[in-house]
Amino acid sequence: MQISGLSMTIHGVPILRDVSFAVAPGEIFGLVGESGSGKSMTALAMMGLLPRGTQVSGRVGFEGVDLLTQGERAMCGLRGREIGMIFQEPMTALNPVQCIGDQVAETLVVHGAATRAAAQAAALERLVRVGLPPDRFAPDRYPHELSGGQRQRVCIAMAVALRPKLLIADEPTTALDVTTQAQILELLRDLVEDEGMSLMLITHDLAVVADMADHVAVMRKGQVVEAGRTETLFRTARHPYTRQLFRDSGHAPQRAARVQPAPVLEVRNVVRDYPLKRIAFWGNRPMFRAVDDVSLTIRSGESVGLVGESGCGKSTLTRAILGLDPVQGGTITLDGAEVHAGHLAGAVRARMQVVFQDPYGSFNPRHKVGRLVAEPFHLLPTPPDDRRARVAEALRAVGMEPGDQDKFIHEFSGGQRQRIAIARAIVIRPGLVILDEAVSALDVTIRAQVLDLLADLQGRFGLSYLFISHDLSVVRAITDRVLVMQAGRIVEEGRTEQVFNSPAHPYTQQLIAATPRIPEEWLAA
Amino acid sequence: MLRFVLSRLISLGLSLVVASLVIFTVIEVIPGDPAAFMLGLNAAPDTVAALREELGLSGSYLSRYLAWAFGMLTGDFGTSYTYRVPVADLVGARLWVSLPLTIYALILSTLIAVPVGVLAAARRGGPADFGIMGATQMGIAIPNFWFAMLLVLIFAVKLRWFGAGGFPGWDRGIWVSLKALTLPAVALALPQASILARVMRSSLIETLGQDYMRTARAKGLTQRQAVLGHALRNALIPVMTIIGLQFSFLLAGAIIIENVFFLPGLGRLIFQGITQRDLIVVESVVMLLVFAVILVTFLVDLAYAVIDPRLRRAT
């Protein structure tokens, strides 16, 4: 695959400018860049699946043919047979009303490669190859019965069913947990080796590329700024943007922790049960124990990390601490006052605030920023008279302009929105801020800035943080202590450096081993 | 799946019991004594009392409810106060007009709406979409009795292809009867098809934007294969909901069309029942309609489960 001088505009807006790179047979090629840099659009151009209103020029050479000049019929014959593709979101990438065996077999059937019966047999073999043996994952299962990692395996089976020469993987593991990510990457690497196909791996995660790719191209604003052999590129990093990316991805903010001995939050033996769906119309509802006997303490001025994979109970615990859900056992104490779901005194509630993951979904789009940030004031018995001034001060503290109060939230970027969310959290000067995956949706550069901001605010206002994340490197950068949660229980707890350097519990060891890392000697220069 | 069907059946039974209680109670508290109404203003009180006894209007609330409910279970709906014939016969005759008319109209509406909606979604933003959206807007806005009169003028008066109204009865032959029902069915179907086509279009457009459609295209399916093979089945779920609602609406809501075409349907029966205080007829017809609605909801639920494996678990 040889891309040369690929340029693209959508309705006149330039998206790609003069993109050139080559993917050699049998190699893993990494395409890195931040969101909006044009990585996915490049991939879609290669597949001929561009949205309407797109103008492309340049050349996408595949085995001597320019794909940009091919008609739709020829491209349909090529997609799935010669070039396979998998996407970021395995939860929604499969048709929910068709069983997985049929969906894999369909690739063979549409290309006329097999009869329906033969396709079913081939699909079965492919499912086994991606690690879904029929005795545990019968091909008549539906996507909703599988986990995210298993669904991504089905997507891979579909994409490689006809043994294509090139597989394009667009952020294939971004939505997955670290251990699942490691397994999927391992599978992709095996497929490249065993079947001699090429893999184009699109990702924002430099560590994944460092771990996987033979060659790398770095994209920014629709252009390739630097390309080369992975190790060489990481060691030399000629382009300032590449250097900045490397710096930001491993960024650890300067923190002067002033931890007081007094606890802000004390969680004692908390149990949280969820009622499951009734099995029978009569009979008791079965219960699921999402949080099982969890205890933790956060002292004033301290940053505590809570790590674990999705479904381990992190978010359930957060909701319980915030008093959103009742607990079935144990106590939660905030500044000496007990937290009870449903009747939580405003004054107690005002002592803790939260910042969520999604900077797009966590604001009411119809309210202006001033009103959004001022919202926590309703917790106070008498709202302050100088609301505007205090909102302005909070906005200034997070690096925004006081004049931003009169704008709507859609006028801001993801990083700016997350700053506004932090402003909303600190405007009533809480003691504790819960950061629930607060930087997970941000690009590395923005993430580094937000982490600096959080460290700065902690120093200035003496805040305590409960930092919840699946991203171990971020937790390592910003916390004093860390708790590791697995299946509703805290399995390990200790000082951050100690836990990361010598993890005691096998689960923690497994998590740390699965986290991809850029070899340190590569970055030394 | 069996467990799902069972749990739906149980909730169907419970709904029927609750509905029958509500209907019975409401009819009970409505002012107006059927016996006094039948006998006129000058009737002697003891004559009225005797008639009440004869009609089964005396006795405790519970005993009358039980008698009514068990009567219905055995097919005995009581005797109409005004027509003096068993309600079951009265309703049965009307049902044989209304039910075929409803099904006829629904089939027409679905046959029009699904392809039209799919076409509009596939050509989104194009002239076909624009034309379809305009036409369906008109179809919703214009009242169906006006359509009905227009149809009579064109096809019955001018072209003389169909009769202008009336119903010959099924014993006169299926084709003759279907022909008599055609114009009313078309008049009923057009507004329903307009609504349904719009639902089909927006549902399909939403489905076309789903990630699995992109996956299907990446596998090498053409746009057409992807729409027919993956999008359509997913997009049908909201369409099924609307079809279910339309069935119940058409079964009793066709009264104006029944009047335009002189059809002896359920709508007219219930209207006459109300004006003549023939409460037992009203009670029975309302109960029948409730039963039809609940049954259709049950069938739609089953159809959901057939379409979508995620809904096959008991709730």
Q: Domain holding B138: CATH number?
A: 1.10.3720.10
Residue A484's pLDDT is: 93
At A41-82, the pLDDT tens digits run 899 999 988 888 888 899 898 888 888 888 888 899 899 899
H or E segment to which residue A58 belongs: strand A54-62
Task: Point out the residue among B220, B229, B315 whose CB comes nearest to the CB of A111.
Answer: B220
Q: Which residue has the tokens 């674990």?
A: A308
Q: How far is A8 from chain B (nearest CA, A)?
A: 20
CA distance B160 to B2: 52
Touching check for B314 and chain A: CB below 8 Å? yes
Q: From B306, which residue of chain A is nearest by alpha-carbon distance?
A: A97
Touching check for B14 and chain A: CB below 8 Å? no
Q: How confident is the model at residue A403 (pLDDT cuts 50, 70, 90)?
A: confident
Token code pair at residue A41: 């659009």
Taking CB atoms and an 8 Å limit, are A277 and B218 in contact across chains?
A: no
Token code pair at residue B277: 């205080």
Taking CB atoms and an 8 Å limit, are A76 and B308 in contact across chains?
A: no
How large a percentage of chain B has pLDDT more than 90? Answer: 25
Residue B304's pLDDT is: 87
Q: What does pTM read for this prediction?
A: 0.81
Q: How confident is the model at residue B189 (pLDDT cuts 50, 70, 90)?
A: very high
Q: Provide the 8-state DSSP code for A38.
A: S
Residue A465's pLDDT is: 93
Touching check for B8 and chain A: CB below 8 Å? no
Strand ranges in A236-378 using DSSP code E only, listed in sequence order:
263-275, 287-299, 303-307, 329-334, 337-338, 352-355
Taking CB atoms and an 8 Å limit, are B308 and A96 in contact across chains?
A: yes
| CA nearest to B100, candidates B172, B165, B150, B174 | B174
Task: Classify residue B208: in a domain, yes or no.
Answer: yes
Best interface-test mutation with A: which of B8, B203, B207, B215 has the largest number of A CBs within 10 A? B215
Number of domains in chain B: 1
Tell me the mean pLDDT in the region A407-432: 88
Residue A279's pLDDT is: 60
Task: Classify residue B21: in a domain, yes or no.
Answer: no
Strands A287-299 and A263-275, bridge-based pairing: antiparallel
Residue A73 phi/psi, 5-degree rounding, is -65, -45
- Collect all residues of chain B within an 8 Å Cβ-Cβ radius of residue A89: 211
The most confident of A389-393, B109-113, B235-239, B261-265, by mean pLDDT: B109-113
- Collect all residues of chain A within an 8 Å Cβ-Cβ radius of residue B215: 87, 93-95, 155, 158
**Beta bridge partner(s), residue A408:** A368
Q: How far is A513 from chain B (nearest CA, A)?
A: 32
Task: Classify residue B159: in a domain, yes or no.
Answer: yes
Amino acid in the structure at residue B254: A
pLDDT at A230 over 50: yes
Residue B315's pLDDT is: 46
Contacts of residue A102, defined as CB under 8 A and 6 or more positions apart, other chains included, come to A123, A139
Give the domain range for residue B238: 93-275
Q: Which residue has the tokens 């005759």?
A: B93
Taking CB atoms and an 8 Å limit, are A281 and B210 in contact across chains?
A: no
Phi-psi bin for A325: left (phi > 0), alpha (psi -120 to 50), beta? Answer: beta
Q: From the CA atom positions of chain B, what is the Rg in Å?
A: 24
- Collect all residues of chain B within an 8 Å Cβ-Cβ radius of residue A277: 313-315
Residue A178's pLDDT is: 86
Contacts of residue A409, defined as CB under 8 A and 6 or more positions apart, other chains included, come to A363, A364, A365, A367, A369, A372, A417, A420
Strand ranges in A67-204 using DSSP code E only, listed in sequence order:
83-86, 166-170, 198-203
Q: What's the Cα-to-Cα distance from A456 to each of A88, A225, A441, A462, rounded to whole Å? A: 34, 32, 21, 10
How large a percentage of chain A has pLDDT more than 70? Answer: 98
Q: What's the Cα-to-Cα distance from A208 to each of A185, A205, B12, rounded to whole Å? A: 9, 6, 54
Contacts of residue B218, defined as CB under 8 A and 6 or more positions apart, other chains included, come to A47, A49, A79, A80, A84, A85, A86, A87, A159
Q: How far is B310 from chain A (nearest CA, A)?
A: 7
Touching check for A276 and chain B: CB below 8 Å? no
At A377-389, the pLDDT tens digits run 888 877 788 888 8
Task: Classify residue B122: in a domain, yes or no.
Answer: yes
Residue B314's pLDDT is: 47
Q: Which residue has the tokens 């590129």?
A: A233
- Collect all residues of chain B within an 8 Å Cβ-Cβ radius of residue A142: 309-310
Taking CB atoms and an 8 Å limit, are B216 and A95 in contact across chains?
A: yes
Token code pair at residue A235: 């060691």
B174 vs B14: which has the higher pLDDT: B14
Q: How far is A76 from chain B (nearest CA, A)?
A: 5
Residue A11's pLDDT is: 85
DSSP for A395-426, written as a single string: HHHTT--GGGGGSBGGGS-HHHHHHHHHHHHH
Residue A340 phi/psi, 5-degree rounding, is -120, 130
Q: How many CB atoms lie within 10 A of CB A261?
A: 6
pLDDT at A314 over 70: yes
Complex ipTM tops 0.85 = no
Q: From B3, which residue of chain A is nearest by alpha-carbon distance?
A: A280
pLDDT at A525 over 60: no
Q: How confident is the model at residue A505 (pLDDT cuts 50, 70, 90)?
A: very high
CA distance A326 to A277: 19
Token code pair at residue A518: 């850029």
Q: How far is A248 from chain B (nearest CA, A)?
A: 31
Instruction: Give the number of residues written for chain B.
Output: 315
Task: Classify residue B286: in a domain, yes or no.
Answer: no
Taking CB atoms and an 8 Å limit, are A80 and B220 in contact across chains?
A: yes
Tell me the mean pLDDT in the region A151-164: 91
Token code pair at residue B142: 């214009």
pLDDT at B81 over 90: no
- Collect all residues of chain A within an 8 Å Cβ-Cβ radius of residue B315: 277-278
Residue A105's pLDDT is: 92
Taking CB atoms and an 8 Å limit, are A277 and B229 in contact across chains?
A: no
Taking CB atoms and an 8 Å limit, are B220 and A81 in contact across chains?
A: yes
Best interface-test mutation with A: which of B208, B219, B221, B310 has the largest number of A CBs within 10 A? B219
Touching check for B222 and chain A: CB below 8 Å? yes
Taking CB atoms and an 8 Å limit, are B219 and A89 in contact across chains?
A: no
Touching check for A380 and chain B: CB below 8 Å? no
Tell me the mean pLDDT in the region A348-365: 86
Q: From the CA atom positions of chain A, what is the Rg in Å?
A: 25
At B280-295, the pLDDT tens digits run 888 888 888 888 888 8
Biggest distance spanned by C-alpha atoms of chain A = 75
Sign (positive or negative) of CA dihedral A154, A93, A290, A334: positive
B249 vs A490: which has the higher pLDDT: A490
At B107-159, the pLDDT tens digits run 999 999 999 999 999 888 889 999 999 999 999 998 888 888 888 888 888 88
Task: Point out the residue among B211, B217, B313 whose CB comes nearest to the CB of A92.
Answer: B211
Contacts of residue A322, defined as CB under 8 A and 6 or more positions apart, other chains included, come to A352, A354, A434
| Strand, coil or helix: B213 | helix
**Beta bridge partner(s), residue A30:** A201, A216
Phi-psi bin for B237: left (phi > 0), alpha (psi -120 to 50), beta? Answer: alpha
Task: Classify residue B20: in a domain, yes or no.
Answer: no
- Collect all residues of chain A within an 8 Å Cβ-Cβ radius of residue B222: 72-73, 76
Residue A37's pLDDT is: 86
Q: How far is B144 from chain A (nearest CA, A)?
A: 37
Tell me the mean pLDDT in the region A314-328: 88
A347 vs B140: which has the higher pLDDT: B140
Taking CB atoms and an 8 Å limit, are A277 and B314 in contact across chains?
A: yes
Residue A281's pLDDT is: 58
Q: How confident is the model at residue B313 (pLDDT cuts 50, 70, 90)?
A: low
Taking CB atoms and an 8 Å limit, are B218 and A47 in contact across chains?
A: yes
pLDDT at B75 over 70: yes
Task: Classify residue B305: in a domain, yes or no.
Answer: no
Contacts of residue B2, defined as CB under 8 A and 6 or more positions apart, other chains included, come to none
CA distance A108 to A116: 8
How large a percentage of chain A has pLDDT more than 90? Answer: 28
Q: From B208, which residue of chain A is nearest by alpha-carbon distance?
A: A95
Contacts 24+ apart (CB under 8 A), A381-388: A381/A346, A381/A347
Task: Classify residue B248: in a domain, yes or no.
Answer: yes
Contacts of residue B216, defined as CB under 8 A and 6 or more positions apart, other chains included, come to A95, A106, B225, B226, B229, B230
Tell me the mean pLDDT in the region A317-346: 85
pLDDT at B279 over 50: yes
Tell me the mean pLDDT in the region A276-299: 78
Q: From A108, which residue of chain B is nearest by alpha-carbon distance?
A: B219
Taking CB atoms and an 8 Å limit, are B219 and A159 in contact across chains?
A: yes
Residue B308 phi/psi, 5-degree rounding, is -120, 110
Residue B196's pLDDT is: 95
